[in-house]
Amino acid sequence: MLSIWMSFIYADDHADLSFQTGLRDILQDSNRKRQLKFGSSLPVSLTEMKSNMFTVKRPFSTSHSSVDSKEIKKFQLLAHKWWDEEGEYAALHSMNDIRVPFIRDTLLSMSGNYHLGNPLSGIRILDVGCGGGLLSEPLGRLGASVTGIDPVEDNIRTADQHKSFDPVLAERIQYKSSSLEEIVEESMETFDVIVASEVVEHVADLEMFIKCCSQVLKPEGSLFITTINKTQLSYVLGIVVAEKIMGIVPEGTHEWEKFVPPEELERLLESTGFSVRSVQGMLYNPLSGSWSWVQSTSLNYALHAVRAGAAPQPHTTDTLPQTDVQQSSGTAGTAGTVPDSAV
């Protein structure tokens, strides 16, 4: 769920040669230090990395669940560490500095209603893969009614315990140990907003996940996603450097083949009835522990999409009595309009 990369390296698609040269030196130096410390080495050849990484495709799931059992086991071990701001989830804590305003400001720009002190009052939000509640809580403090779901029961216990310290949050947030598809039947078109932050790179079936989001979201509701692009840069910095060499996050946190290019995510969303409104790059600086918005989406990115509105109701004037036709003629032009959503 974390994508960490070194702030002293930044490269886009137009600077591939200089990036590779500088990165090779850094990797070789880091590898020598690792050998001295651990007596082991890792391959640092970019050519070798390329040949290995680009032969791997996103695994196809034949299950009827978007939940990956391997991911459950990984995050079960870290369930008690969610609220350690300097621990394994430090980057997610600091990500709130940009993802919460992104969600808040986007929703306010789409709504004419503003509640001073509680700007998201009246909005129902589903936080999918809520973990320990790191994003659910600030959204609840903004006035939203939040439902957080996570398939790891220990995550939900941690989230419930932490919200209990704040009586306001205890009323506004409810948590449930569940996968997304398990709540579809009981929650059809229930939520104004869905957030899936640092989640889609861990699901077993991305297409099913997106379809379930569409089913529980109201027409014209908003979907917010943050995730990791599938690029050479994200492999080297997100997997090799962050996990294998420097140990910034536990090894095995990410699987590069599950990373999702924004183009693929947009295609899946649009084929499921969403309209993608914005895609923005995100950058984490591990030295300062802060996130910022950037133009490049080669590493992390945030996406906002809106589900299509309800289909217009068919006109029935030709089956009405003549008196009813005359009475409704003044409003016939609005018969197919869609009421404003809460978002």
197 is in an annotated binding site: yes
Q: Does 157 belong to an annotated binding site?
A: no
Strands (E), the chain: 124-128, 145-150, 173-177, 191-197, 217-228, 274-285, 290-294, 300-307
| 267 belongs to an annotated ligand binding site | no
The tokens describing 14, both together, are 């137009």
30: number of Cβ within 10 Å = 18
Angle of helix 46-53 relative to helix 16-38, nearest 10 degrees, comes to: 100
185 is in an annotated binding site: no
Task: Quickly tell me which residue has 């230090």 as its tokens.
Answer: 33
Tokens of 187: 């929650």
How many angstroms separate the CA atoms of 244 and 236, rounded?
A: 10
Whose CA is closest to 2, among 204, 191, 198? 198
Which element (helix H / strand E) includes 160? helix 153-163
Q: Is 5 left (phi over 0), alpha (psi -120 to 50) or beta?
A: beta
In which order are the strands placed within the sheet that holds 173-177? 173-177, 145-150, 124-128, 191-197, 217-228, 300-307, 274-285, 290-294
| Beta-carbon contacts of residue 142 (< 8 Å; ≥ 6 apart) | 100, 104, 118, 119, 120
d(CA 339, CA 316): 19
- Alpha-carbon gap, residue 198 to 227, rounded angstroms: 5
Give Cβ neighbours of residue 238 (< 8 Å, ≥ 6 apart). 3, 4, 5, 228, 254, 256, 259, 299
Residue 60 burial (10 A CB sphere; 0-12, 13-18, 19+): exposed
Q: Is 318 among the annotated ligand-binding positions?
A: no
Instruction: Please say whether the dihedral angle defined by the alpha carbons of residues 214, 219, 220 and 222, taken in this order, is positive or negative.
Output: negative
Binding site members for Mg(2+)? 198, 201-202
Binding site members? 99, 129, 150, 197-198, 201-202
Binding site members for S-adenosyl-L-methionine? 99, 129, 150, 197
